[in-house]
Homo-oligomer: A and B are copies of this chain.
Amino acid sequence: MRAVTNLMRVHQIVLGQLDEILKPHGLTFARYEALVLLTFSRRGSLPLGKMGERLQVHPTSITSIIDRLERAGLVRRQPHPTDGRATLAAITKAGRAVVEAATADLAAADFGLGQLSGAELAAMSTLLTPIRRAAGDFTEGTQTTSDHE
């Protein structure tokens, strides 16, 4: 139970710090994650459904996140070229610039984990990964060499 308490409090602390850093950029951590995901995609665009799958958020939450990013001009909605049902979120030039600046700020703050060394961060990831695995976090988004990934 002590471990759970530590987990909860550290999450609260770290998320608070990250959101504070991201606020000047007009981002929350959830929106930042979505932008980073697009940055790392091949074409700079992904179907909303795939984004929700990768980020593990509810379909309606992705709609909301993309709504706000689009209103801020960091993302554009585009029709999917081959699937008439799907909508693509495409990162804009402004979006890429904001991600870059925000990432620099986050890195300068050690992502809120400056108290830990590189070895400790690795140890932490080693400890936490089995829990994600048990929750099926890595077995769902397997190989899909389809259109947009």
Contacts and interface: CB of A to CB of B under 8 A. Distances in A.
Contacts of A127: 116, 120, 123-124, 127
Interface in A93-120: 106, 111-116, 120
Contacts of A130: 115-116
Tallying the copies of this chain within the complex gives 2
Size bin of chain A's contact surface: 35 or more
Given A3-B125, A124-B6, A13 B131 contact: yes
Given A6-B125, A115-B130, 12 more contacts: A2-B125, A3-B116, A3-B125, A4-B14, A6-B132, A7-B7, A7-B124, A10-B131, A13-B135, A114-B134, A123-B123, A124-B127
